[in-house]
Amino acid sequence: MSRATAGERSRAFLLVAPLLLFLAVFFLWPLGAMVTAAVSDEAVSTVMPRTAEAMADWDGAGLPPQPVQRALVEDLRAADDQQALGEAVRRLNSAVSGFRTLLTRTAGAARDAADPGAVSLPAVDPRWEQPRFWLALKAAVPRYTDRNLLAAVDLRRDADGAIVNADPEAAANRVIMARTFLVAATVTLACAAIGLPYAMLAAAATGWVRAALLMAVLLPLWTSLLVRTAAWFILLQNEGLINGALQAIGLIEEPLPLIFNRLGVVIAMTHVLLPFMVLPIYSVLLSVPRNLMPAAASMGAGPLRAFWHVLLPLSLPGLLSGSLLVFMVAIGYYITPALVGGAGDQMISSVIAFYATGTANWGMAGALGLILLTVTTLLYLVYGRLSRSPQLPGA
Amino acid sequence: MRSAKRLALIGCLSCLLGAFGAQDGQARDLTVVSWGGNYQDAQRKIYFEPFSKLSGKPVLDESWDGGIGVIAAKVKAGVPNWDVVQVEAEELALGCADGFYEKLDWSKLGGKESFLPAAVSDCGVGAIVWSTALSYDAGKLTTAPTSWADFWNVEKFPGKRGLRRGPKYALEFALMADGVPADKVYETLGTPAGVDRAFKKLDALKPHIVWWESGAQPLQLLASGEVVMTSAYNGRISGINKSEGKNFKVVWPGSVYAVDSWVVLKDSPNRQAGMDFIAFASKAENQAKLPDYIAYGLPNKQAASAVPAALQGDLPTTPKNLEGTLALDADFWVDNIEELNARFNAWLAR
Amino acid sequence: MQPFIQFESVSKAFGPLTVVDNLDLGIAKGEFLSLLGPSGSGKTTILMMLAGFERPTSGTIHLGGKRIDHLPPHRRQMGVVFQNYALFPHMTVAENVAFPLRMQRLPRAEIDRRVERALDMVRLGALKDRRPSQLSGGQQQRVALTRALVFEPDVILMDEPLGALDKQLREHMQIEIRDLHRRLGLTIVFVTHDQTEALTMSDRIGVFNAGRIEQLDAPHAVYDTPRSRFVAQFIGETNLMEGRVAALEDATATVIVEGLPLRVRRTDGLALGQEVSLSLRPERIRLGADSVGGNLLPVTISDCVYHGDHMRVQLASGPLGLVARCERLAGDWAVGTPVTAGFDPADLTVLAR
């Protein structure tokens, strides 16, 4: 390679360097952080190195031998990083409720004791006589864990390490995730059903009509969530405009339940997400030569058949990318379902938000996010295969 | 030659980054974070602006929706970009144990004995006492409900009910509706049988519940008649009565009250100013102005007694309103929220 | 005999703008008719009305004795070749060609057979699985043509079909289309603004200007005896001269142009003192030693451009300027050389002003 091309290459690299940096900082790094958070489990081993070491000699049967208990006391005495200890406590409490108060009390006793060897843990708190606390501690020692990932799909390891279903009384992630995909799919279908004809209308229109049509579909993106929610409320509630109008013209006697149920969620989400469907289809349609439909007609295709054989296949790339966009954005929704949905309409992102902001359990948040990301990536691959016919305009 | 240029370029870039970074760290004004809405508007008038005038420096205010994860993220960033935050009881307990907050010097706040016991902690001082209570539209409901048992009684009071989505409050209310006295609620919830009992009671009402998420929703639900009664935050109820002339009523017995506290985030660059602000906002003469705007109870005893009698009736701290109420057990929820939330979600999904 | 296609008093207006004005036009079966005219002359609108994409504002159109102006395009059985081919980008060559047959719901086997035969005829059999975007312009053009032909329509309509091709390819395709026309006995209506294309391909040419037919004639008639100044100027190059009829003889007349008396063939209705225009094709002028004929003018050469197979010579005779086109001849063609220009009275076409 000549010196000149080497120079050009490095200059080209410099030009894209900001982009690469941006991708690394705002895309790859958070992704890595999420994966790490989902599987790493260092909170306990960091604060309790002695306990971790001593635990290796305990087979998990009954109560751990004296050296383990002593190591725990020493670790708690030595723990001076309050935030690190807090993290360990949160981690343990997330495994067994009550660990927080137990450890707080034990740490206090350990610090106050003159001789760490003389501290009797069951005397400090009788809960130390329950093996489940010790087992939870032992399970928290390894630096990596599949616990969060399993819990994200309602699985857990039993005492023998085999993967089993979590207690159905306290496991809803699978249901909520399935529901999330169902709602997203319904919204995608609704958007496609409305968005395709709408985009065709907008592409066929000219001048101010086209501008008005596009504006109308973009409007919900520019209004704040609260304003939109209030609007839906006014429209959809039992004494709302729609029910009022239907009752006034005598179509129904009792108000239809339009809000605080799945229907309300689908209506509201379709409203917001419609532009993500309309715009890709619209731009694909704009690139379709105007004489194709007349050409089809001249060859004996009536309007319906011309649509079916020509316009629809040609708008398919737009429909596909629109569907993908709507679906992926819809998966992440949770405020709208919370505001206009009913009890059975909570979506997985609200569970993620609960762990991330509510309890600072980033392991669970990361694991749920990772599952969501995996499914979405799979969908994207399917989309990639579907849209690989390279001759489509706009593709 | 070329590599020299490149070095210079990189140097410039890092200069720029450095400049921005430094600006962020040093020159930031005191940032106070509260819960937004009318409440924060009132706080701005009686706390933020007067304090800014007194100290001669600007006070920035932001709002948040709670969550220890938010606090943890801020503190772990090294230098938090918030200084003073008003936190709920669980966030106070969690964050204090985890070292997310600076310790307070109570001598500068007028001593622990000047405040309600529930408003005193190593890391935070109570800002308000607020209550989640059964409320209804007295303009629509002729027979007044008086207890959570009435809330559960769909024969006597037909129609939907609003509850905040989540196990917190719902479980407490369910147990009280099932006949558990207020002072035994957390004791009962502390046992697996108690939790089962609460969920079983919720089962009975499940088809009639509209779940709400944000504090403004229950008011909307009541106003539109979507629900006949709902749990709601007491401050919002008296607020809407005042602003829109509604006649919404609060049923005090069986309500759950909690204390929100001011904290200073660990390693805040404005630590001293933050402490001064907390002291300012905790002074009796300043705190006493709050009920004029919004019906929250005052943790400063002296301030509470200075509230005019006309406003006393709406405050959760008024002795008459405290009868039969329940103080939120932050420790219980800190310990059990994840497990009960998972169970609640599973229950909802069934 | 009733023509195969008949336009009767057809007008088309877009708002206040009349694009086609009271058109009467008959097209015979098996005829190759070109509609020639500048853009905006209404020729494409006529085609669109024939195809059914536009409806006449008034008047009727008959095809084979059947009125068709109210039928939608898909019921008219006309093959249309569009300006940019209008091939379906999502279909292969074979699928494109099969499309009209599928629309007729023919059996699969017959469709395949006819598509194959049609593609072989235009030598595209090897490309049948390609997509349009993988073809050259000429190949796309041939696919479009095949697609319009394959369902054996009554009429083929072509809207500037060769406009997007380069010169060489265009000439090649002209031959190919003419060949198909002859072999299959097709009725073709061909819209173009390229006069050479119209002259070389058509049986008849309709020259359009501002919504009206200026002349409808065989190519040689349109060229040799244009009936209006517009036609004379639009088709080929010409010398247009303005003059006055000064004398009328038996078979000839004398017209004074810029003070020069020119003898022209006497036509009906020519009156003494009438203001007329004269059209003289450049190739009809002979120079120097060749200059024989009824008119001989002393001129000087003011410019001379070499064109390979011919020379283009600018001549001046006082205020009168002429362009002549002659084969290369010996002699002095330097600017300023005085020569004699000669032309026959029959080569001067008299046009009313």
What's chain C's length in residues? 353
One domain, residues A312 and A354: yes
What pairs with residue C62 in β-bridges? C6, C67
Whether B315 maps to a domain, the answer reads: yes
One domain, residues B45 and B107: yes
Number of structural domains (chain A) is 2
Are the Cβ atoms of A89 and B97 closer than 8 angstroms?
Answer: yes
Are the Cβ atoms of A289 and C86 closer than 8 angstroms?
Answer: yes
The pTM of this model reads 0.80
One domain, residues A185 and A328: yes
One domain, residues B85 and B163: no
Whether B289 maps to a domain, the answer reads: yes
Token digits for A8? Answer: 């050009």
SS3 assignment, position C171: helix
Residues C9/C23, Cβ–Cβ less than 8 Å: yes
Residues A313/C109, Cβ–Cβ less than 8 Å: no
> What's the CA gap between C292 and C290, in Å, rounded?
6
One domain, residues A263 and A382: yes
pLDDT at position C208: 94
One domain, residues A104 and A219: no
One domain, residues B244 and B139: yes
Residues A183/A265, Cβ–Cβ less than 8 Å: yes
CATH number of the domain that residue A192 is part of: 1.10.3720.10
Mutate to test the interface with B, among A9, A25, A91, A97 (most CBs of B within 10 A): A97
The values of phi and psi at residue B138, to 5°, are: -65, -20
pLDDT band at residue B20 using 50, 70 and 90 as cut-offs: very low
pLDDT at position B121: 93
Q: Chain A partners of B165 at a C-beta cutoff of 8 Å?
A: 338, 343, 346
Give A174 to chain B, closest Cα distance, Å.
Answer: 10
Specify the pairing of strand C58-63 against strand C32-36. unpaired
One domain, residues B166 and B39: no
Whether A354 maps to a domain, the answer reads: yes
Q: Chain B partners of A230 at a C-beta cutoff of 8 Å?
A: 220
Give C40 to chain A, closest Cα distance, Å.
Answer: 19
pLDDT at position B4: 44
One domain, residues A69 and A208: no
Whether B205 maps to a domain, the answer reads: yes
One domain, residues B62 and B99: yes
Q: What mean pLDDT do residues B91-114 have?
A: 92
Specify the pairing of strand B326-327 against strand B84-87. unpaired
Whether B21 maps to a domain, the answer reads: no
Amino acid at C200: T
Residue with the two structure tokens 């609620």: B185
Q: Using alpha carbons only, what angle is made at residue A171 by residues A370 and A270, rounded to the nearest 5 degrees? A: 60
Number of structural domains (chain B) is 2
Q: What is the mean pLDDT of each run of 10 residues along chain A (395 residues)?
A: 70 88 89 90 90 88 87 89 87 87 88 84 89 90 90 86 87 91 96 95 92 92 83 84 89 86 92 93 91 92 93 91 92 87 86 89 92 88 73 40
pLDDT band at residue C332 using 50, 70 and 90 as cut-offs: low
Give yes or no for residue C345 having a pLDDT over 50. yes
The per-residue pLDDT for range B276-294, each reduced to its tens digit, is: 999 999 999 999 999 999 9
One domain, residues B220 and B146: yes
One domain, residues A271 and A348: yes
Residues C207/C195, Cβ–Cβ less than 8 Å: no
The residues, any chain, with a CB within 8 Å of residue A137's CB and separated by 6 or more, are A44, A51, A55, A72, A92
Whether A77 maps to a domain, the answer reads: yes
> What's the CA gap between A84 and A46, in Å, rounded?
8
Are the Cβ atoms of A298 and C151 closer than 8 angstroms?
Answer: no
One domain, residues B336 and B195: yes
Residue with the two structure tokens 């639009």: C234
pLDDT at position B10: 42
One domain, residues B343 and B213: yes
> What's the CA gap between B8 and A385, in Å, rounded?
46
The more confidently predicted of residues A2 and C33 is C33
DSSP state of C273: T
Whether B344 maps to a domain, the answer reads: yes
Domains of chain C: 5-234 (3.40.50.300), 239-352 (2.40.50.100)
Whether B184 maps to a domain, the answer reads: yes
One domain, residues A84 and A195: no
The residues, any chain, with a CB within 8 Å of residue A346's CB and separated by 6 or more, are A176, A179, A334, A337, A338, B165, B345, B348, B349
One domain, residues B205 and B339: yes
pLDDT at position C203: 94
Select the residue of A81, A338, A361 nearest B165 (Cβ to Cβ).
A338
Amino acid at C29: K
Whether A376 maps to a domain, the answer reads: yes
Average pLDDT, chain C: 90
Whether B52 maps to a domain, the answer reads: yes
> What's the CA gap between B119 and B188, in Å, rounded?
25
CATH number of the domain that residue B76 is part of: 3.40.190.10
Residues C257/C264, Cβ–Cβ less than 8 Å: no
Enclosing H/E stretch for A276: helix A262-286
> Which residue, A143, A162, A190, sits at the end of a domain?
A143
Phi-psi category of residue A53: left, alpha or beta, with phi > 0 → left and psi -120 to 50 → alpha: alpha
Q: What mean pLDDT do residues B265-269 have?
A: 93
DSSP state of C131: -
One domain, residues B234 and B176: yes
One domain, residues B220 and B266: no
Domain of A78 in residue numbering reads as: 43-143
Tell me the percentage of chain C whose pLDDT exceeds 70. Answer: 97
Whether A75 maps to a domain, the answer reads: yes
Give yes or no for residue C40 having a pLDDT over 70. yes
Whether B160 maps to a domain, the answer reads: yes
Residues A38/A370, Cβ–Cβ less than 8 Å: yes
One domain, residues A258 and A364: yes
pLDDT band at residue B273 using 50, 70 and 90 as cut-offs: very high
The residues, any chain, with a CB within 8 Å of residue C12's CB and separated by 6 or more, are C18, C19, C20, C42, C45, C49, C54, C56, C57
Select the residue of C73, C79, C133 nearest A297 (Cβ to Cβ).
C73
The residues, any chain, with a CB within 8 Å of residue B273's CB and separated by 6 or more, are B30, B55, B57, B83
Specify the pairing of strand C5-14 against strand C17-27. antiparallel
Domain of B41 in residue numbering reads as: 28-129+259-322
Find, among B99, B85, B89, B146, the residue nearest to B120 by Cα.
Answer: B89
Q: Is C147 an interface residue toward A (CB < 8 Å)?
A: yes
- Tell me the CA distances in angstroms from A209 to A202, A214, B251, one per residue in order: 8, 9, 55
Specify the pairing of strand C155-159 against strand C187-192. parallel
pLDDT at position A184: 95
The per-residue pLDDT for range C84-95, each reduced to its tens digit, is: 889 999 999 999
SS3 assignment, position B342: helix
One domain, residues B222 and B309: no
Specify the pairing of strand C78-81 against strand C155-159. parallel
One domain, residues A113 and A223: no
Residues B331/B93, Cβ–Cβ less than 8 Å: yes
Specify the pairing of strand C286-287 against strand C338-343. antiparallel
Question: Which chains are adjacent to chain C, needing at least 3 Cβ pairs under 8 Å?
Answer: A
Whether A312 maps to a domain, the answer reads: yes
Select the residue of A298, A310, A389 nearest C80 (Cβ to Cβ).
A298
> What's the CA gap between A52 and A50, in Å, rounded?
5
One domain, residues A138 and A192: no
What pairs with residue B135 in β-bridges? B230, B250
Q: Using alpha carbons only, what angle is made at residue A31 by residues A25 and A33, rounded to the nearest 5 degrees? A: 90
Give yes or no for residue C107 having a pLDDT over 90. yes
Q: Chain A partners of B338 at a C-beta cutoff of 8 Å?
A: 93-94, 97, 355, 359, 361
Whether A289 maps to a domain, the answer reads: yes
Are the Cβ atoms of A302 and C74 closer than 8 angstroms?
Answer: yes
The more confidently predicted of residues A353 and B7 is A353
Q: Chain A partners of B220 at a C-beta cutoff of 8 Å?
A: 230, 233
Amino acid at A381: L
> What's the CA gap between A322 and A386, in Å, rounded?
13
Q: Would you tell me which residues 275-304 of chain A have a C-beta closer than 8 angstroms to some C-beta of chain C?
A: 289, 291-292, 294-302
Give yes or no for residue C125 having a pLDDT over 70. yes
Whether A87 maps to a domain, the answer reads: yes
Give yes or no for residue C157 having a pLDDT over 90. yes
Select the residue of A83, A100, A362 nearest B99 (Cβ to Cβ).
A83
Cα A317 to chain centroid distance, Å, stands at 26
Q: What mean pLDDT do residues C303-309 have?
A: 85
One domain, residues A192 and A262: yes
